[in-house]
Every structure is written in C-alpha cells, then in structure tokens.
Chain A
C-alpha cells in the first residue's frame, strides 16, 4: 500500500510561500531582462538576434531539469510507495511543459533569421519535440486515470521519457546536426563570452523561480482537493 501523509501540515507552509516567491521572481526577472535586453553586448555575428538565447537556453534547461526531477521523484515514489512524491511530480509537470514549448518556439524564431529555416528535423530539435510529447502523455495520463492507477502509469511514462534526456544533451555531439553544440561547458572552456553568460544564468534563476511559483500554486490546489474530499490524510 501507499504511505500516507498529512496534507494540512504541508499546506500551512506551501500556502504562504507563493507571495514571497512571486516577489523574488519579479526582482530577478527585472534584473535578468535588463541584463539580457539592454546591458549585455550584441553578438559579433548575429547582432541582436542572439538575445533570443537568453530565453531559449534557460527554458530548455528548466524543462530538462523538471523532467529529470519528475522521473526521480516518481521512481522513488513508486519504489517506496510515497503518495506525496506523485503529487509533487504532478504539480511540476505543467511548467516543464510550458518551458519546453517556449524553447521550441523561440528556437524556431531564432532559426529563421540565423539558419534560414523555421524548422529542421535534426536530432536536437526532434528529440526536444519528443520530450514535449512525453510531457503531454504524462499530463494526459493524470487526467484519464485516478489515484493509484495514475501513480503507476505516470511513473512508467516518466521512466520511458528519461531515456530521451541524455539523447537531447548529446545529440549535437553524437551526430551531425544543424543545431550548434553546447556553448557552456562545465569541464572544458566555454565558448560564450562572460558578459553574455551572466544574463543567461540570471534568466535561468528567474525561470526556475517561475516554475517554483507555478508548482506551489498547483500543489496547493492538489492539497485543497484532498481536503475537500473530507480527508485529513491521503
């Protein structure tokens, strides 16, 4: 059987958190956008169109990060039968999906002036599209099935989808793709100038805060649903 937890205790904390997160998000996104759109230099070759990167790259990072978190939490939840982890995973998914779509759309907008095409069926772009489809599968599964059945089916979907994540990461190294390889490397030297790296990280922090905000709102809704069913524990 699944382990029980007390939604009331958690709710007392998570119901207060959104306003602080929202405040922090507004501050960080203001700094991030100022850096990205005004203070950061234009690119030597793409000039101002390079600024799309400050939305595109953080969005892609966040959607990959959220999917990995969903898989990790669902797997632990599945193995040890912890209900709360499934609700957390469920609440994380919408913002991950939205950032996935943002990454695809901004990539397309950037691709037209840079490459000369809106869309290319190269390995990186196609694997990102597959991730979006996995997000969709995951979200739909929550709507179709309820409770214990949904827990199992959504964890299976997330485990199937996680195979795609390293493929996305290494697609640009393994195969010839139209998409360029990573500019930011942890182990070797990054090929992006430091003045363009700061706005990128600030924007990533802003998007992470936004995801946290959406997560908290969604999670609170889930907790309220449980309370409305007249249960003080799930």
Chain B
C-alpha cells in the first residue's frame, strides 16, 4: 500500500477542506443579513426597528395592484403572507408586471410603506414558448 507520507497528505487535504468549509459556513451564517439581496415583506413586518438605511425588498407584484397617481407608480409587493405598499417614480424594467417577481431598492417610510428609488424585475426560472404558455393558461 501507500507510504505514511501519502496517508499524511490525504489527511492534510481532508483537514484543509473541513476547516475551510466550517469557517466559510460560519462566516456566511453570521453575515446572512448582508448576503441576502432583498428582504421579504414578512421579514420587514417582523423587523425590530424600522431600518433607516437604504434596503431592498422583494416579492411578487400583487395582481391588480399597480396604479399611477400624480406621476407616481404605486403597487403592492406580496409574499402571500404579508404585503407592503411601494411608491416609485422613475424608469421601470420591461419585465415589470403584475403577478411577477420584483425587487425594489429604497427606504422604509413605515412598516407598510416603502419609498423605492430603483426597481428591478426578478425573472423566474420558467422558460417556455408562447404557445405552451397559452396552452397552460387555457387549462
């Protein structure tokens, strides 16, 4: 079989991997707040204090919730448990639509109102031709 040096090197590599994965795991765990790109409405509701800094919230644009009022776009972001009202004026991405994912960057006015300074559309993982989509909707 192999010499003791080889066994030692195998042990060395395994040990590096264990130490490394543990440290990376702990670092990411403690930085979770910064690793997540956006918070859901439920997370906003359960926030201890209202965040003063710029944050991102994300979820689905509630159906029939988009309307324009005095050049301001208003809509509701939902995660199907909690909702938050978003006010925004500016450029919106093409894929921004009702019933689709959205990420809004901006400031919390209070627990229910979010003043967005930037809006990003979040695309989902579904890819299909238009005919298939039409067929699914007919069902």
Q: A43 with B124: in contact, given A177-B37, A178-B103 (CB under 8 Å)?
A: no
Q: A75 with B13: in contact, given A114-B121, A115-B121 (CB under 8 Å)?
A: yes
Tell whether, in the assembled complex, residue B120 and residue A115 are in contact, meaning their CB atoms are under 8 Å apart.
yes
B127 at the interface (CB under 8 A from A): yes
User: Would you give the shortest CB distance from A186 to chain B, in whole angstroms?
Assistant: 14
Q: Map CB proximity to A onto B5-25 as digits: 1 under 8 Å, 0 otherwise.
A: 010011001001100110010
Among the 9-residue stretches B60-68, B69-77, B91-99, B107-115, the one with 4 or more Cβ atoms under 8 Å from chain A is B91-99
Q: A193 with B121: in contact, given A116-B92, A123-B37, A175-B37 (CB under 8 Å)?
A: no
Tell whether, in the assembled complex, residue B126 and residue A116 are in contact, meaning their CB atoms are under 8 Å apart.
no
When distances are taken between beta carbons in the complex, the residues of chain A under 8 Å from B119 are 116
Q: Interface range on chain A: under 10, 10 to 19, 20 to 34, or 35 or more?
A: 35 or more
CA of A121 to CA of B130, assembled, Å: 31
B49 at the interface (CB under 8 A from A): no
CA of A162 to CA of B24, assembled, Å: 12
Tell whether, in the assembled complex, residue A191 and residue B37 are in contact, meaning their CB atoms are under 8 Å apart.
no
Q: Which of A79, A175, A183 contacts B127 (CB 8 A)?
A: A183
Tell whether, in the assembled complex, residue A43 and residue B128 are in contact, meaning their CB atoms are under 8 Å apart.
yes
Q: Map CB proximity to B onto A118-144 as digits: 1 under 8 Å, 0 otherwise.
A: 001111000000000000000000000
When distances are taken between beta carbons in the complex, the residues of chain B under 8 Å from A46 are 95, 123
Q: Which of B32, B126, B131 contacts A191 (CB 8 A)?
A: B126
B47 at the interface (CB under 8 A from A): no
User: Would you give the shortest CB distance from A4 to chain B, in whole angstroms?
Assistant: 17
Closest to A80 in B: B6
Could you list some 26 contacts between A and B, CB below 8 A? A44-B130, A44-B133, A78-B9, A79-B6, A80-B2, A114-B94, A114-B95, A114-B123, A116-B92, A116-B119, A117-B118, A121-B37, A123-B36, A123-B37, A160-B16, A163-B17, A163-B20, A167-B28, A175-B32, A178-B38, A180-B122, A183-B125, A192-B125, A192-B126, A192-B127, A196-B129
Listed in ascending order, the chain A residues whose CB lies under 8 Å from chain B are 41-46, 50, 53, 75, 78-80, 113-117, 120-123, 156, 159-160, 162-163, 167, 175-178, 180-183, 191-193, 195-196
